Homo-oligomer: A and B are copies of this chain.
Amino acid sequence: MTMSAEVIQAVDPRNGVTGVAYPPTAPETIRKVIAAARLAREDIGWRFTPARVKALSGLAERLQRRAEPLIETCMAETGLSRARLEGELERTWRQIMLFAALIETGAHYEVTIDTADPDVRPAPRADLRRMMVPIGPVLVFAASNFPFAFSVAGGDTASALAAGCPVICKAHPGHPGTSELVANEISGALADAELDPGTFALVQTASVETALGLVRDEAIEAVAFTGSTGAGRAIFDAAGARERPIPVFAEMGSTNPVVVTKSAIEDRGDSIAAALAGAITRDAGQLCTKPGVIMVPADSAGEFREALREAVLAADTGVMLNQRLYESAVAAVDSLSRLDEVAPVLSEPAESSGHGFGLAGAIFASSSAALRANPELRSERFGPIALLVTYDDVEDLVATIDGFEGQLTATLQATPADEEIAQRIVDHLLPLAGRLVFDGVPTGVAVTAAMQHGGPYPATTSAAYTSVGSAAIHRFLRPVVWQNAPEWLLPEPLKDGNPLGIPRVVDGVPERS
């Protein structure tokens, strides 16, 4: 991609060919779409759930129908494989349908009613009826590495629209054509559902100042972001420095430490190595859940290291999404190669054809002591790069775990023979992460009610929320209680007799509709 302010242009990572040039959104257009989002706020709120269900369902259908041009355009802009993008697009429309289904049930209102009670101590209680309402216009920053699922019509946009919030989406400059095509489908689906056209707008820009200007705009009520720690923190800081601060839900990636016990290696070392090799190299390691550090016992590391090496060597070579990520990954490999405390296991010279951004998997080895001493070793390296770290015993292991910052995931590969140490290891992994993975790999994030895709800083700026799964809608809602409201002024979800037939808790008891 070209990052000048004059033009936004993807480069095909497979061959270096420059794509269509898109003009950045003009400042006056940005002002207009923000004003329109502010106005749309009233017109798509909680009263308009059926229209929002229709818009989301329509959008899911449109994305299916338009799969072929979307995938073709996206392949040329991102270099991701057809199989991957087919899967990602399906995931994207399915997650849009999940939010449509959720709001159709009315569960997202989270209605809680405590009826008036003159006998409550120390003071009589008024009638209190609480429900969730949309917070207002949401600014979504699209990610480079999921051009569908975390981009223009991704989980952030879908959950914000489902909540009843207008969305301004800042497209990722890495896939401007894909972004335009998807945005057109969103606008079409909103029109079909007769929702205010100001409900959604795409902003194309490669200017950091323009992007931060959106964060600072008085009309914006929350920001959702997926990307690097640096960009996420800049957005968080700008939002916090506003006269009226707003929440930022930034998912900023993760090292995703993996612990393998001795008994797990004895039991299934080769299959663990194969699974990890896949997770490290799939999509050229450009996943925020890629396992970046793998901790194995020193006394059984040798054979495992060989197995991992073989499996990564045998894996397909991918391409990095763009030149910047390619150069960062090459620099990371180079930097690891220069460290005394790190030994190469597999680090062929970066494999570029001279045109594209191809990169082979790279594995390095180090020790727990080195990892504890050098924070750089614990940090995320975007790309097909992983660090194998040997530990001496469980004491050494948990001290090393305690040195990690917040993570999206933490993984334990163990067997029932580890009963004495496994719980201790989990107790140290738990404070780190939002998701604990057992006997598997951290890549692959299911879109479902129980998912938690988040974690303590710097994995995210808000560990209480998830950006994947139906709970992601909570980011864009806030509770309001109607106290002693006459029936004629109560919103439908709170009226006596539950006319919408939605789940409600009344005086502590779930109401049967």
Contact = CB atoms under 8 A, between A and B. Distances in A.
A121 interface: yes
Given A114-B446, A128-B450, 20 more contacts: A86-B122, A112-B449, A113-B450, A120-B446, A125-B448, A128-B446, A130-B449, A240-B245, A245-B461, A419-B488, A430-B480, A434-B479, A436-B482, A438-B482, A438-B483, A439-B486, A451-B481, A456-B478, A463-B478, A464-B478
A248 to B, nearest CB: 10
A131 to B, nearest CB: 9
A458 B244 contact: yes
Interface string A337-367: 0000000000000000000000000000000
Interface in A126-181: 126, 128-130, 133, 135-136
Contacts of A462: 247
Interface in A350-405: 405
Contacts of A457: 244-246
Interface in A461-513: 461-464, 466, 471, 474, 477-486, 488-489, 505, 508, 510
A62 interface: no
B236 A438 contact: no
A246 B462 CA distance: 8
Q: Give the number of times this chain occurs in the complex, counting copies.
A: 2
Contact of A435 (B135, B481, B510): B481
A427 interface: yes
A375 B451 CA distance: 45
Given A123-B446, A245-B457, A436 B485 contact: yes
A462 B423 CA distance: 35
Which residue, A244, A464, A471, A477, has most C-beta atoms of chain B within 10 A?
A464
B240 A450 contact: no
B481 A434 contact: yes
A274 interface: no
B237 A422 contact: no
A42 interface: yes
A287 to B, nearest CB: 13
A129 B437 CA distance: 11
A422 B489 CA distance: 8
A479 B471 contact: yes
Interface stretch (A20-28, A87-95, A308-316, A322-330): A87-95
8 contacts: A113-B450, A120-B446, A120-B448, A126-B440, A236-B245, A434-B480, A435-B481, A452-B479
Nearest to A123: B444
A33 to B, nearest CB: 20
A398 to B, nearest CB: 12
B438 A485 contact: yes
Interface residues of A, number: 82
B91 A423 contact: no
A427 B45 CA distance: 11
Contacts of A121: 90, 94
Contacts of A437: 483-484
A221 to B, nearest CB: 8
A446 B126 contact: yes
A236 B239 CA distance: 12
A87 B245 contact: no
B489 A434 contact: no
A489 B427 CA distance: 10
A94 B112 contact: no
Contacts of A481: 434-436, 450-452
Interface string A230-246: 00000011001000111
Of A247, A423, A426, A450, chain B has the most CB atoms within 10 Å of the CB of A450
A98 B94 CA distance: 40
A478 B112 contact: no
Contacts of A42: 427
Contacts of A69: none
A118 interface: no
A338 B121 CA distance: 44
Which of A444, A481, A488 has the most CB atoms of chain B within a 10 A radius of its CB? Answer: A481
B483 A434 contact: no
A344 B457 CA distance: 52
B452 A130 contact: yes
A302 interface: no
A247 B457 CA distance: 11
A431 interface: yes
